[in-house]
Amino acid sequence: DSGVTQTPKHLITATGQRVTLRCSPRSGDLSVYWYQQSLDQGLQFLIQYYNGEERAKGNILERFSAQQFPDLHSELNLSSLELGDSALYFCASSVGTLGNNEQFFGPGTRLTVL
């Protein structure tokens, strides 16, 4: 158990809908990262927050947004969903923002768009 929790574990929805994925980091970790894992794209970094502020952006679509709240939990919002958004979405957390900070991964949310 990494100490990172993600809810829900599974999510099935229809095209055009909007969903919210939730992540609670390990106790004491200030950084939260979101990743998308799909069969054709592999593991792609989406976005990072540190202590409530956005720190880095990766391959995140404009239809996707995220935020980190004062209690440090984070939410990833996916809107106008398309079939291609079906994937595993991982949240990870780390103490800080340095490249040598170990990231601890949650179990993931499997999103299926029908």
The least CB distance from residue 73 to another protein, in Å, is: 17
The least CB distance from residue 62 to another protein, in Å, is: 19
The least CB distance from residue 16 to another protein, in Å, is: 28
Residue type present at position 4: V
> By the 8 A CB rule, do 50 and 31 touch?
yes
Q: By CB under 8 A, tell whether 22 contacts another protein.
A: no
> By the 8 A CB rule, do 44 and 58 touch?
yes
Q: By CB under 8 A, tell whether 49 contacts another protein.
A: no
Binding-site ranges for another protein (CB under 8 A): 2, 4, 33, 42-45, 48, 55-56, 58, 90, 92, 97-108
